[in-house]
Structure formats: structure tokens, C-alpha cells
Structure 1
Amino acid sequence: MSTRHHLTAVALTLATLGSLTACSGSDDEPSIVVTTNILGDVVHSLVGDHAAVTVLMKPNSDPHSFGISAKEAGAMEDADLIIGNGLGLEEGLSANLDNARSEGVRVLEVGEHIDPLEYASGGSAGAPDPHFWTDPARMVAAVDVITSALGEEIGDDLAEAIEPSAASYRRQLEDLDADIEEIAEAIPAENRKLVTNHHVFGYFANRFDFEVIGAVLPSGTTLASPSAADLEELARTVEDAGVPTIFADSSQPQKLAEALSDEVDLDVEVTPLFSESLTEADGEAGTYIDMQRTNAQAIADGLVPR
């Protein structure tokens, strides 16, 4: 064989091997990036092993303030689909999301598609409330939005493959909704009054007939700061309503809630809730469904008369 023919054969062999590697490697696996660990758990429950899912927000983090690495930012720009909460929740990711969009990546902001509520009071009054996951019924709608986007962006094959898991997960969410409704109904109507670390339970209150009478941070974000006058006003509200428990987010320091408790001339407890982040997998809120059940029971324990 001539030198020229030998080189041609080698080139063809290398090209064939390269083609086989591209077809058999992970490049063909759909890549989905999810911003929050709550939605990450939902997406994992839907797609299983049918796609590679990267969740940016670590357990026990604050969705309003967490950041990401350069590698994770690159994964966003290479993704087939980014699934985010939206409605201003991921305050630290806005530039990364804009960069991904500029690279042609679709960003699905789920909150925009589930009939969002507005904050009723506080510094965020009138703005869309991003904390829709506290209402399990809206999470059923979120599953429909996500599965539709997966079909549109990745293909009908994936949509068909995950249809059984999507149907199963919807049923689990419907059962969760019914369970929480039963837990809520055990709380006398006059006791369904919530004081929280910040305005995070508006959807829960709307779904299960609670009243949010105030928040230690008078805003929809944990990045806000209360004034002495805010704390004084809330202390009087708590006293007038006779609220026995203040609920603080588990991922945030409870100093402000405890300071408010000290201001109130009543025996007021401070109870942590897993309101904005999942725990590690083996924790009390390792999944979205576990988180919701744990929170509902903690709210009932804090508000049912002893």
C-alpha cells in the first residue's frame, strides 16, 4: 500500500471511530438544568433516567441569594432546557439566565404559567409572588407546564417516555393536597393565622383558608431588612391576634423571629419550617412532598390549641 493510500485509510478509520464515539456517548442524552432544588426534585421525579438533570441550588440554601460556579454557568449555556421558578425568585441568577437566553437556550419560568398571586401587603405588595410551591394544586399545574416544555424542546420521544411517571406524580400531588386539606381542617378557623419569617405562605393560605397576618421581614424576599417600627407594629398585631407560634424558615437564622417573640407579651414559640429549600435526601424535607407534609403538620402543631 502506498503512503498516500495508507494515510487515507487511517483518516477514514479515525473518522469512523469519532462518529461511533459521538453516537454512543452522553452527548445524545438530553440536558436539563433546574434552578431550585424544589423544582429539581419535581423534574427528577418526572424524567428519571431519561435525561441528565443538573440542579443548581444546593440543599438548605436560600433561593433568593444562592450563587453558582463557572462550571454550572457553562452548563446553563449548553443545556437543552433550563427550568426555573421565575417571578423574581432566583435573584442571584438573573445575569446567568440572560446569558443562557443569548445562547439560544430556552428558559422555562414555571411561575409565569400557574396563575400567580400578588403579594397582598408589605414592601412587595402588588408584585407577583413566586412561592407557588406552597400550594400543591398549583404544583399539579406546574407538572403539566414542565412536561409540555420537555416535549416541545427535547422531543415527543421524551414526552412519551415520561408519561407514566408524570401521571403517577400528579396522583401523588393530588393525594398530598387532600392530606394537607385534612390537616388544615383540624385547625379551628379562628386559629388559622400565620406569622412567618417573610411573605412566603401566601399560596398556602389562599389554598387552605389561612390568613397571613404579618411577617418578620415585611417583604417577599429574605434580602429585605425590617425596621424597629416594623417589628413593633408586628408585635402588636401578634398580641392582638393571640398567635401562639411564629414560623421561621429553616435555612435562615431565626434571630429576627426570636427578637419579635421577645417583644410580645405572650408565650409565643418560634417554629422552623422548610419553606424555601429541601434538605439533604435523608432529612425531614428530602423531597418536595415530604417538605409539604412536614410543614403542614408543624403548622397544625403550632396553631391547634393545646
Structure 2
Amino acid sequence: MKRLLLLIVPLIALFGMNQFRVDAQSRLKVVATTSLIADVAKNVGGDLVDVVSLIPANSDVHGYVATPQDVARLVDADVVLMNGLGLEEGLLEILEKNAPDAVIVSLGIHVLSSDPHHHDDDHADEPVATEEADHDDEHHEAMYLGIYGVDVDCDENHKDDAHNKIVVGRNHDEHDDEHEHGACDPHVWQNPLNVMVWANNIAGTFGNLDEEYRDTYLANAQAYIEQLAMLNDEIRVLIDAIPAENRVIVTNHNFLAYFAAEYDFEVVGTVIPSASSMAQVAPQDIAKLVETIRENGVRAIFAEYAVNADIAQTIANEVGYQVAVVRLYSDSLGAEDDEASTYLDFMRYNVNAIVNALKD
């Protein structure tokens, strides 16, 4: 009897090990371009997916350079998730070659122009946000261009009507003339209502690839969307502590326009005059920004953890009164177990930092 038991136990253990391997291999292999998208994908997919992010936490997404390991991950993936709107500027080449069917999770979001001079009469009745990239005395308004994937394609993508998906890097044809082209602000996640769109798009994608668990993905997405709704309510309560006259800010690069539009802030200038942190800063831009800060009584410059803030500090020192340089998380999460290791905590950290800098 003892001999029989000794034979049975290892067989059970072996069966359990093999079953685990089958389960692990059957999970969807998901590659997300950013840690923010990866976090939402994990919430939607749960134990049914294995998710990795190409761009590490605490990184500058705009300046990231792809590695050979990134190519291998793309080739091995069941699905690749990307933000679109020009965010993945350092990854476009390998995405075009190795993940032409990458899914753009921002489709369906009302997108802002990153061009301070863009005005469209067709959208004159839509909400506006101030354009951070402008250093002139007259503050230009960044317009909502329209719905991404419906009437806005932002140049780098083309809708393949035959397959109902966005194909990265395809040239535009005559049918694209009806779409609005132009520079789009990619930082949609700074408004949690936009991340609800991400969750729904990701759930639909996972459900199409893994139909057996479609309802599970949809339920997970709905549960996460409820958390985002509570986060939105929480943010509104917190920013009530900031007087309206203090809601005038400057950022290091143009990354808070969606936040500003949703929560009634005015961004009167940026240190780096672009939606990309890779743009250059001219001396005349610095002088104009110092004057803008003085004229508007700006109390804080909000800079990113992943980007050097030395120029922002120099500008703050030149103003002539105390201007705080406050570090925020912008394009990626913090490290694992950090204070901003999930999207929900990312937003809570940023909002608390903004409130503490601007409240009386």
C-alpha cells in the first residue's frame, strides 16, 4: 500500500504541473506599449491574460528607443495594445514591421489638438482646453478635433474598413479626405473618463480573441469602469479645495490638457513648447514664459518625474516670487510597489500633489 501511494503522489503532482502549464500557455499574450495601458489590460483580463509593457515604468515615453527584446515580444504576442495619437514615436518603426494589426485603445475618444493655432468652426460648440504649448500673451485654446477613429485619424494611422481595425503605418488614400488631419494631443489618460473607453476597447478586443471568456472580460471592464467613476468623483471633491483663481498652471511639456479641460484648470504655458518632451527650448521661449507666469500669478510649474526639470527650476527662480516646481507622473506609472504603481494610484498621487501646491 505504501508503494502504491508513493506512485500515486508523484503522478498527481505531475498532472497538476502539466495542467498549470496548459493553463499558462492558453492565456492571451498581451503586449502594451506603455505601463498605463498594461495596467488597464491587467484589470480587464485578470488571470486570463499575461501582460507586459514595452516601455518600462518611470520612463519618458516620448524618448524611448526600442530594443531587440521589444521586437521579440511583439512577434510572440497574441495582441498588441497601443495608445496611438503619435505617442509611440520611438516605437512606430518596429510596430509597423512586427505588429501591423496593433489595436489602438484610444479609438472613440474625443481628442484635443496640440496645435494652439488650430480652430475649426465645425467644433466651435464643443468644450475647449487651454493650449500649454503657447507662450504668447494671448492664450490660444486647444480645440476638440472630434472622435478618434471616426472623424480624426491624426496622420499616423488609417482605418481599414474591410477589417474594421486600425492599421499602423498604412498610407492614406482618397477616402481619408473626409477625416480631420492634424497634430493631436496623445495624453488622453489624464482624464479618467477616457480610460473608461480604453477599458471597453480592451474588453472587446480580448473577447474577440477569446470568445469563451467574452462575458468575463466585459464584466471585468465594467467593474473597473465603476472604479474609474469613483475616482472621477474623488478628484472633483479634492480639487474643490483649490480656489478658482489658483487654477492657473504651467507644465514642463504639454501633458495636462485633458485634465485641465475636464476639471476647469487653465494651462497658460509650458517649459517645452510641445506635446512631446523631446522638443527643444529656445531662450526667447523661456523669457516669454517667465513673463506669462508673472502676469498670471502662476504658483506652480508641474514637471514630470521621468524628464529633467532643471529648466523648469531655472524659470521658477527667475520669476521674482516663490513658484514651486512640483513633480508629477506623466506618461508612465511608477515602479512596482511605488505610490503610483497603478493607474488609479497614479491619478490620486498627481491630484493630491496639484491640490497641495495650489490650495490656500
Segment of structure 1 superposing worse, 177-186 or 213-222: 177-186
Structure 1 residue corresponding to 2:313, chosen from 243, 246, 258: 258
Contact 2:45 2:203 in 1 (8 A): no
Q: Distance in 1 between matches of 2:338 and 2:52?
A: 20
Segment of structure 1 superposing worse, 227-236 or 49-58: 49-58
Contact 1:32 1:51 in 2 (8 A): yes
Q: Distance in 2 between matches of 1:71 and 1:188?
A: 48
Question: Matched residue of 2:106: which SS?
Answer: helix
Matched, 1:114 2:129: no
- Number of the residue aligned with 1:41: 39
Matched, 1:75 2:73: yes
Q: Distance in 2 between matches of 1:101 and 1:58?
A: 19
Matched, 1:56 2:62: no
Q: CA deviation at 1:196?
A: 0.6
Q: Distance in 1 between matches of 2:105 and 2:222?
A: 19
Q: CA deviation at 1:25?
A: 7.2
Structure 1 residue corresponding to 2:278, chosen from 219, 223, 226: 223
Q: Distance in 2 between matches of 1:238 and 1:295?
A: 21
Q: CA deviation at 1:113?
A: 2.5
Contact 1:65 1:90 in 2 (8 A): no
Structure 1 vs Structure 2 CA RMSD = 1.9
- Number of the residue aligned with 1:133: 189
Q: CA deviation at 1:232?
A: 0.5
Question: Matched residue of 1:116: which SS?
Answer: strand
- Number of the residue aligned with 2:205: 149
Q: Distance in 1 between matches of 2:220 and 2:22?
A: 26
Structure 2 residue corresponding to 1:92, chosen from 90, 93, 99: 90
The Cα offsets for residues 124-163 of structure 1, whole Å up to 9 and x where unpaired, read as x7611100000011111221111112222x1322322223
Q: Distance in 2 between matches of 1:110 and 1:180?
A: 23
Alignment of 1:246-285 (within 5 A): 246-285=301-340
Where in structure 2 are there 5+ consecutive unaligned residues?
Answer: 1-17, 117-130, 135-141, 143-181
The normalised TM-score by structure 2 is: 0.74
Q: CA deviation at 1:50?
A: 0.1
- Number of the residue aligned with 2:63: 65
Question: Matched residue of 2:231: which SS?
Answer: helix
Change over 3 Å in CA distance of 1:269–1:136 after alignment to 2: same
**One-letter code of the match for 2:51?**
V
Matched, 1:178 2:242: no
Question: Matched residue of 2:203: which SS?
Answer: helix
Q: Report the structure, 1 or 2, having the larger helix content.
A: 1
Where in structure 1 are there 5+ consecutive unaligned residues?
Answer: 1-19
Q: CA deviation at 1:165?
A: 2.1
**One-letter code of the match for 1:177?**
N
Question: Matched residue of 1:67: which SS?
Answer: coil
**One-letter code of the match for 1:223?**
M
The Cα offsets for residues 185-227 of structure 1, whole Å up to 9 and x where unpaired, read as 2211111112011000000001001111110001000101111
**One-letter code of the match for 1:283?**
D
Q: Following superposition, which runs of at least 4 residues in structure 1 exceed 4 angstroms of deviation? A: none
Q: CA deviation at 1:27?
A: 4.3
Q: Distance in 1 between matches of 2:66 and 2:343?
A: 22
Count, aligned residues: 280
- Number of the residue aligned with 1:13: none
Identity of aligned residues (%): 34
Question: Matched residue of 2:107: which SS?
Answer: helix
The Cα offsets for residues 232-265 of structure 1, whole Å up to 9 and x where unpaired, read as 1010000111111111101111101101112211
The Cα offsets for residues 45-103 of structure 1, whole Å up to 9 and x where unpaired, read as 1111101212111111011111333132122123221101111111110011101245x
Q: Distance in 2 between matches of 1:71 and 1:226?
A: 33
